[in-house]
Amino acid sequence: MPLTAKFELDAGSRTFATGLLPELIAALRDADPGDLIAVVSTEASVGVDLDAWCRFTHNSLVDTSVEDGRNRWVVRCGEAPRHADTQRPVGSRLWLYTNFDCNLRCDYCCVRSSPKAPRRALGLERVRRIAVEAAELGVGEIFVTGGEPFLLGDIGEILSACAAAAPTTVLTNGLLFAGRRLEALRALPRDRLSLQISVDSPTSERHDRHRGKGTWARAWKGIERARIEGFRVRLAATVSTDTEAEEFRRFLDRRQIAEQDRVIRHIALRGLAEQGIALARADLIPEITVTAEGVYWHPVGAEDGDLFVTADIFPLAEAFAAVRRAFAQEHAHQHRLATIFNCA
Ligand code: SF4
């Protein structure tokens, strides 16, 4: 589905050489940072110039589509918000999407998970091999996510293999800690495994609106259960605005949740989300992400073509090298453009 933009600029057959640029600049003047501007043109060559222009001007090309012979590009006005951890070396963290099905269907899920989504399981044997090779590569942290990982019958073995390789965090909605799943959790090492459980708001209203009725209260039960079992629990909120982020921060302060046990991030405009921060590949420092389909640039778009790197997971060293090569090339490209732009 094409991205909805705040401004639509119909360029007809104009290109950068024939009058498109002044119109684009005029549209930018009316836009605020973060706004999306769509450029529609019959000229496919506009895409190359638009991509280069975005890199010059610190805007981002976040979407490309073709419909009825007309090309449509979406540009996000301004740079993506900076994160404090941009210095983290590529390959120090490894993300595994164990599956894509989920017991919930959150309306902003970045990988379109739901009870009806096909499982697309990575599988225990592949996870075991990845864990061994990740340890050899010096991976410092493994993140296990989905979908809902606790839907898997062998999630205990999967987490155990990961935790043996590196300190591991499993991202979960926290709703399934009962019966055999609770038994699987109980058997896992407390000193090597943490849980990251989603809670979006201080009260149930906003959380339940996005994730389903009653899920806020059930998530808290999951958090309490995991704590009783002796696991470190990190709380992760997905928010729409800075105000919501601040409100949640104050809530965590009142509960005396330590800084290292909180994650607050904005909704990303990917997957099912209809609003959020539009993130292009150039905005994201790679965090190598493995799914059943292959290796991706970052977990926020683990089924999106623009973040796909290679279908070959093994050897993992080569997959890591492919991501690093692509990152180095894209950095070099940005640097080259910056040099060309130098007027004196
Ligand atoms: S956001 Fe998480 S809990 Fe919600 S549907 Fe997606 S994977 Fe499931």
pLDDT digits (tens, 9 = 90+) for 321-342: 999 999 998 877 766 655 555 5
Ligand 1 atom having least distance to the Cα of 108? 1
Could you identify the residue written with the tokens 């205990």? 156
Mean pLDDT of 187-193: 97
Lowest mean pLDDT among 118-132, 164-178, 244-258, 306-320: 244-258
Q: Residue 306: what residue type?
A: D
pLDDT of residue 178 exceeding 60, the answer is yes
The Cα–Cα gap between 333 and 55 comes to: 9
Reported confidence tier of residue 76, pLDDT bands at 50, 70, 90:
confident
Q: Which of 108, 119, 151, 173 to mutate to test the pocket of ligand 1 (most atoms within 8 A of CB)?
A: 173
Question: According to DSSP H, which parts of the chain are helical?
Answer: 20-30, 46-57, 124-136, 155-165, 179-186, 204-211, 215-228, 242-254, 316-341
Ligand 1 neighbours (beta carbon < 6 A): 102, 104-106, 109, 113, 146-148, 173, 211
- Give the residue whose CA is nearest to atom 6 of ligand 1: 109
Ligand 1 atom having least distance to the Cα of 103? 8
- Give the residue whose CA is nearest to atom 4 of ligand 1: 106
pLDDT digits (tens, 9 = 90+) for 86-133: 578 999 999 999 999 999 999 999 999 999 999 999 999 999 999 999
pLDDT of residue 82 exceeding 60, the answer is no
Ligand 1 atom having least distance to the Cα of 145? 7
What pLDDT score does 10 carry? 93
The DSSP annotation for 184-245 comes to HHHTS-TTTEEEEEE--SSSHHHHHHHH-TTHHHHHHHHHHHHHHTT-EEEEEEEESSHHHH
Task: Give Cβ neighbours of residue 140 (< 8 Å, ≥ 6 apart).
Answer: 92, 93, 166, 167
Q: Which helix (H) or strand (E) holds 265?
A: strand 262-266
Q: Which of 98, 100, 102, 210 to mutate to test the pocket of ligand 1 (most atoms within 8 A of CB)?
A: 102
The Cα–Cα gap between 234 and 227 comes to: 10
- Give the residue whose CA is nearest to atom 7 of ligand 1: 147
Ligand 1 atom having least distance to the Cα of 111? 6
What's the 163 CA to ligand 1 centre distance in angstroms? 23
What's the 171 CA to ligand 1 centre distance in angstroms? 10
Lowest mean pLDDT among 42-56, 140-154, 267-281, 315-329: 42-56
What's the 168 CA to ligand 1 centre distance in angstroms? 19
**Residue of 42, 38, 49, 16 whose CA lies nearest to 278:** 38
Against a cut of 0.85, is the pTM above it? Answer: no
Ligand 1 atom having least distance to the Cα of 171? 2
What's the 78 CA to ligand 1 centre distance in angstroms? 29
Quote the tokens at residue 15.
Answer: 């290109």
Q: Please answer whether residues 6 and 32 qualify as being in contact, where contact means their C-beta atoms are separated by less than 8 angstroms.
A: no
Ligand 1 atom having least distance to the Cα of 173? 3
